[in-house]
Structure 1
């Protein structure tokens, strides 16, 4: 009786429809206060107004702030500051009416006193900032009306308060002026400073630096850079004149201040940046480094795009230098000269890459260091070297950099991970020493710059270089386990499982294998599996979970032997996730905390790691936030989508079978909540590579970027099947046949699967596999292929337009898995190109491919469409104008979701075809008739 009642209740629930999505909420920006006493997070509907909530660690709601966003709590945990966004409806209406920017509602700023519960709205703002270690001050720019009377008043005040701009009173209507306001959270006092362009806090809340541009007719000599002392409420003009002031940089103690400034004429094509150093004794900034400084290479200058950063001890300043660029001849007339790209076979990189990276190349800078003690400037890298890597403190002498040979740069057209030389660089004298030649893999500088650790992808091994002795020591050699990806199924060499962390005593490193964590001492004497092979014995992946605290130079990946270590876990057999605790001071210190049929994400901690917040989810359970201190018990903080229980949802189960060639296979089967084994269901297979690791993942109902929205189709009476696909080099298409087709055939043994109403859907690599499968079988009643490659011979020479890179590497070494060039094995390229077999297609197929696709050239979708159209096969092509590989614009996502539903409903459920399926939409009707109506 109860079973019948529950089934009836489930059957009464409506399915998710297209009106559901906008109100479905998600959680973002969860943060603890410093001690963990408070937690705050933002709840956002897919469309609508956000809400920010502030709670204490006992789950008591202290503040619910409608439209609150971009929030933070002060370091002393007394004030909660948040932006208040305008109403979504108002903003939408303003856009519809095409209002000007200054007519649209602005963000405002709210300050909440946690102790007194007093909330103050500071009004509309243009922007706001706080110091990193914020306790007392915030600053924001606000547009206010200045009347003649106020002008006169300001003029009087300016005689005694130099922070107020002198102005000439005018008898005119009120005018608007942007003012910088420094607000004291404790006293509510404000300081107004006019005509400020940009402003910056130091980390320690001692100073605010701002610049004024001034005007052409300004006779008050206001233009320049100013330093405002927050405690003393005094300001100093530290650099005079109009200019571009940037990279305002304090040392950790706020005792040194440097900045970049270009004071050349505004119309000058060549910017002349100099580094200025503020002298506290003289209250003025003087030029520290310019292009004439000793140490700067000939025809080089200070880069306006380089960073400025102090070492932790403030004895060194790291800067950027660059060659003085060529300047365009402005006397030339554009329309009288050709616009041409010249591709040269010996260029380092393809012209398409050069064009994509041109702005970045123009802004590139090369590392140099300035020593304050001896006033010496030392270049550290030049055009022959890559990025410089220092330690977190930058106090140590040694840094590392890389150099790539020209031949390797050219080879990047078809090969990833090309060899590079690894160099040590002395920040004391600039001396360079090569420590590894033709290295393929990664190099890591230890936190104290005592060692460099290498992973060699070709040897699948770890080693290290001792900087003091110059000795190289093998780390992983001689061990029975592999430290390379054991499931690697692409032709490229396998990657590593990465570094788990560095030993806090500076004597070793922790490295992951597939399941466990190992400790290797730098002297090579200790090789210890700290998880005692528990992971491998039980097929449980264990990973160290390390947290970042609020210290300015905290090394977040230190592992302390004396502190219990939190590990995350993933069981490869059951797909369960959980947590373990590892006490490294004990012999059997590994203890399971929890493993469950859930996925845990969004894990954060307070500074002392005494309280944690995380989300927990599975297919049925939305990933709400929880609080915990030990992970064994969780306190639920949110319940943001209670409406889910009102809809027909679904269930998941792991399916296992043998493929035709005897391989063990797995996949996820999704069933509707009201599943009835006496009914027959249409089924859609959605795939990419592997999905079963997400058996317990939640699938939010949201408009799709072209993938299959599983929760929608399951709720609407479909079965959905996501099989894992395992590949062998040279035959990716056959792998899809082996796993997808066999999995679908396996499921047809169940009477509730309708073998005549099966479909497949995939996006990108999944889209390619869909295109391949329909040339090899007619078992599917419908197919949807998003951004597919159908012709590997033409795609091989194509360009990934977003990056400008050639696609050749993909076919030879990575995802396409052919493992050969087009000329070495032409037959493989043809075998795996669905285009050559389109005459075999009997399945109606919809293609989505967009003209701004930056990954797969959209002519691939056109080749597929025109081939099937020529063969008079039922085919549709959707091109969302200007959109990308995966749809980014929400209106397009909403549209394609409706069309996917209509497409599969027609071919799998027999519903009437929508107009776009029957007749298409003609160009003259574009924007007038979307073809979504259905004639019953």
Structure 2
């Protein structure tokens, strides 16, 4: 017996030793692993549910497209496949093949660009036997939305022919014959290339030259395309090809520009805009044109002199063309004719004055106007042409620019919405006020039905009701389009429909809506937990569709729209609901019904994040993503019962080779006694008896994302959590709640008690803790280091440091005044600078810069469109003058968050160097110790280390 016990003990010790060795063999995440980490995307189910395709691509380099036969459990892989689609009959998959990444990079190093670079190819896969046809130099392709059997693909310009040293006699004869023909003036601006129509079954192809645009009808019975002008014998025009008759039909030729081609649902009607004006014309006058397969005659439906066209208005070349579902109406865009300004040929360009004139009467301030110039120049106003009655009707106007139609565009009423009278208040009055109008599409009359609503009025799918959530009374409202008073549908319900967690000094928004039930019979909206069924007639009280199941079980239940083309929810629909448990953070899917009372039935639930649920159109087959902190959000499949779930992808198997760590939910109370939650990420093989350096990262609230997977990737602005955890850091992500007027103090009241709670548990090295955050998080850090010396180092990305100067500034990305942010939204001051001057000052780190002792790294880029760059400069200059340890990284031309991958990689390395130096005693890099003079910019990056490692916890201040 003793011998057995000894053997068991030895065996157990061996297992422990083997496990420890296995764990020790795991690698630490480093900055050089980013490029190989993969992303899953582009997944699509075939309509019959038998096939699924998806791409797995590294962050940098060549990926692959995978097509899986779900019946045979067999997968075919295609290198560099992208932009993939199934044919509607589920017989073919079509995709483009990108050129090799390294080959393109090598050519770019040789300064090659444009047509000198390799182009995409096209692949057609016959799913029955997985045979492949590949076609070179294809820039785009299209499949019919509903029909099958046809594919259209658009070719790149042909490669230039190689010059031959000697011409054959035949070639010389042809050249002489061509020389005798009249010379044609070629169009140097011609951009058209060959379009090819291919029969997928037979492989037969039809080729059309000089094409610049093309569309299929929904069923694929017609292919419409626009040709560019080559010369006087080959004019621009619009053409049709009947795929049943295999005939090309010229529709309209001879004008300079044709664009905006659009067809009706059946494919027998075509609309487009065209002009005879050249590209050099100051004003190009377009006409709205129409053609159908019955008459086969082009008609001009609208131009500047058309009946119904407002005076001095014209057809817009930028408006979208749309037929109604029944093909009886055509909707298009118009706009006021631009003012023609004569060119001053007596003035030199350098003598012209360039200035912006700001006036207090402008509806929009100049920066917003400038930012929206392109949109303003391309703006169009909705108009309608009745194809049966032969009449044009202008719907949108300058005073009422936004018009909404019913789902099928067949109803006799439209909804106009306007904030034009209130635009001058944009920037401080939020949500913006709006007026709403009902437009009678038969009589042409307009009636105002809402004044100064704070909501966003919309039209129900059948056009029977106007509906909106009104922030002023936190209720859902409807208004019948055929008359009657506005009805408050949720006033008598026993639960709130406003966002209960809203902690900004503004009217709270709603929880949203699931949609309308068939026939506009009911509106389905959300409270915090459940779905409510509202009777738009007001005759029946609001009904909890999910039978309070969400509230009883502390769940959030939300409708999953499985048909992307769905316009309304069927009257007897079986619903799939996404569920999330507020307490445990578990997620999954539930089943419920419209039209009958029954509690939701759990289908699947686990400690994961569930996303991207998709259903095959003609099958109960579904796919979805599932993952957690340790496991990538891979693709899974099941049927709608979710009884048997199969994993389809393993996108990042290398994850198992690295130290990853764990995440857990932690609870504490703020200084004011408010219960809070946060996330604590712990290193692999966490030892509670060991002390770890700790990073504290935050924004507002993050605890609901406990199961979110975080991929190792170069940072746009914040720490990459898996990287730091793998390098033996604790990472704490606390939730924050705010009090109006005290955003900085609120952050302190929530974060510091959470940190102290963790320190008391004994595994945090309280002498080596740091803060990191970006934007709003960056502001809170800039504030906190003026109030506490608890942290060894801090990094603040794009922080507001002076609310008094930031308040009067501009968000250059949108041209919007920053005032709204401080008065009503994220900054939460709750009043103007002149109403609450002391709160602006007290919440501004700049005024207390002399109190800072924490070494601070700032990133603030010179093209930041959200937080003015000078905010970082103000703080840096104050700390520099006070001789505080401060650095500022300014990535030239970069935005609020870094966009270019090279810059993200650089920032990631510098953040690691900064925090490793202060929290682990690692050597400081050159850029921290000596700086990088501007004369060596771009040549020496200062990333080299300059000192021997110091003892942990004794890095110099």
Show the counterpart of 1:811. Answer: 822
Show the counterpart of 2:351. Answer: 336
Deviation (angstroms), 1:8 = 4.2
Show the counterpart of 2:60. Answer: 47
> Does residue 823 in structure 1 map to residue 837 in structure 2?
no
CA distance in 2, matches of 1:771, 1:287: 63
Show the counterpart of 2:31. Answer: 18
Asked if the contact 2:479–2:485 (Cα under 8 Å) also holds between the matched residues in 1, the reply is: yes
CA distance in 2, matches of 1:138, 1:404: 43
Structure 1 stretch displaced more, 707-716 or 125-134? 125-134
> Does residue 434 in structure 1 map to residue 448 in structure 2?
yes
TM-score by length of 1: 0.94
Show the counterpart of 1:511. Answer: 525
> Does residue 34 in structure 1 map to residue 51 in structure 2?
no
Show the counterpart of 1:172. Answer: none
SS in 1 for 2:507: coil
Sort the Cα spacing of 1:152 and 1:60 in 2 relative to 1 into closer, same or farther, 3 A. farther
CA distance in 2, matches of 1:68, 1:633: 30
> Does residue 248 in structure 1 map to residue 258 in structure 2?
no
Aligned counterpart in structure 2 of residue 580 of structure 1, from 590, 600, 608: 590
Write out aligned runs for 1:379-778 (5 A): 379-406=394-421, 408-524=422-538, 525-549=540-564, 554-556=565-567, 558-584=568-594, 586-608=596-618, 610-629=620-639, 630-778=641-789
Aligned counterpart in structure 2 of residue 69 of structure 1, from 67, 82, 87: 82
CA distance in 1, matches of 2:702, 2:773: 13
SS in 2 for 1:510: strand
- Which whole-Å deviations, capped at 9, do the CAs of 1:428-464 have from their partners, x for residues lacking one? 2321111111111121211111111121101101121
Sort the Cα spacing of 1:291 and 1:585 in 2 relative to 1 into closer, same or farther, 3 A. closer
- Which whole-Å deviations, capped at 9, do the CAs of 1:711-751 have from their partners, x for residues lacking one? 00000010000000001100010111011111111111122
- Which whole-Å deviations, capped at 9, do the CAs of 1:857-898 have from their partners, x for residues lacking one? 111111111010011000000001111101110000000000
Deviation (angstroms), 1:96 = 1.4
Asked if the contact 1:151–1:168 (Cα under 8 Å) also holds between the matched residues in 2, the reply is: no
Deviation (angstroms), 1:112 = 1.0
> Does residue 223 in structure 1 map to residue 236 in structure 2?
yes
Write out aligned runs for 1:740-889 (5 A): 740-889=751-900
Structure 1 stretch displaced more, 624-633 or 880-889? 624-633
Sort the Cα spacing of 1:839 and 1:338 in 2 relative to 1 into closer, same or farther, 3 A. same
- Which whole-Å deviations, capped at 9, do the CAs of 1:487-521 have from their partners, x for residues lacking one? 11000100001111211243111110011111011
CA distance in 1, matches of 2:360, 2:300: 45
Structure 1 stretch displaced more, 137-146 or 109-118? 137-146
Asked if the contact 2:144–2:217 (Cα under 8 Å) also holds between the matched residues in 1, the reply is: yes
Asked if the contact 1:782–1:845 (Cα under 8 Å) also holds between the matched residues in 2, the reply is: yes
CA distance in 1, matches of 2:196, 2:420: 53
Sort the Cα spacing of 1:634 and 1:379 in 2 relative to 1 into closer, same or farther, 3 A. same
Aligned pairs, number: 912
CA distance in 2, matches of 1:504, 1:280: 33
CA distance in 2, matches of 1:277, 1:658: 68
> Does residue 115 in structure 1 map to residue 140 in structure 2?
no
Sort the Cα spacing of 1:754 and 1:131 in 2 relative to 1 into closer, same or farther, 3 A. same
Show the counterpart of 1:159. Answer: none
Deviation (angstroms), 1:195 = 2.5
Show the counterpart of 1:57. Answer: 70
Deviation (angstroms), 1:561 = 4.3
SS in 2 for 1:197: strand
CA distance in 2, matches of 1:286, 1:274: 10
SS in 2 for 1:711: helix
Deviation (angstroms), 1:132 = 2.2
Deviation (angstroms), 1:586 = 4.7
Structure 1 stretch displaced more, 581-590 or 357-366? 581-590
CA distance in 2, matches of 1:662, 1:79: 61
Sort the Cα spacing of 1:732 and 1:536 in 2 relative to 1 into closer, same or farther, 3 A. same
CA distance in 1, matches of 2:753, 2:342: 65
Q: What is the CA RMSD across the aligned residues, in angstroms?
A: 2.2
SS in 2 for 1:573: coil
SS in 1 for 2:437: strand
Show the counterpart of 1:371. Answer: 386
SS in 2 for 1:441: coil
- Which whole-Å deviations, capped at 9, do the CAs of 1:12-48 have from their partners, x for residues lacking one? 3121011111001010111111222211011110011
Asked if the contact 1:784–1:847 (Cα under 8 Å) also holds between the matched residues in 2, the reply is: yes
Asked if the contact 1:440–1:458 (Cα under 8 Å) also holds between the matched residues in 2, the reply is: yes
Sort the Cα spacing of 1:14 and 1:555 in 2 relative to 1 into closer, same or farther, 3 A. closer
Show the counterpart of 2:196. Answer: 181
Asked if the contact 1:142–1:181 (Cα under 8 Å) also holds between the matched residues in 2, the reply is: no
CA distance in 1, matches of 2:245, 2:727: 67
Asked if the contact 2:417–2:457 (Cα under 8 Å) also holds between the matched residues in 1, the reply is: no
TM-score by length of 2: 0.92
Asked if the contact 1:126–1:143 (Cα under 8 Å) also holds between the matched residues in 2, the reply is: no
SS in 1 for 2:676: strand
SS in 2 for 1:329: coil
SS in 2 for 1:739: helix
Aligned counterpart in structure 2 of residue 130 of structure 1, from 125, 136, 143: 143
Sort the Cα spacing of 1:898 and 1:59 in 2 relative to 1 into closer, same or farther, 3 A. farther
CA distance in 2, matches of 1:31, 1:349: 43
> Does residue 232 in structure 1 map to residue 245 in structure 2?
yes
SS in 2 for 1:625: strand
Deviation (angstroms), 1:80 = 1.1
- Which whole-Å deviations, capped at 9, do the CAs of 1:602-624 have from their partners, x for residues lacking one? 21111146111111111111111
CA distance in 2, matches of 1:211, 1:578: 48
CA distance in 2, matches of 1:727, 1:68: 48
CA distance in 2, matches of 1:444, 1:114: 43
Deviation (angstroms), 1:139 = 2.4
Structure 1 stretch displaced more, 137-146 or 182-191? 137-146
> Does residue 267 in structure 1 map to residue 277 in structure 2?
no
Deviation (angstroms), 1:3 = 4.6
CA distance in 1, matches of 2:779, 2:402: 37
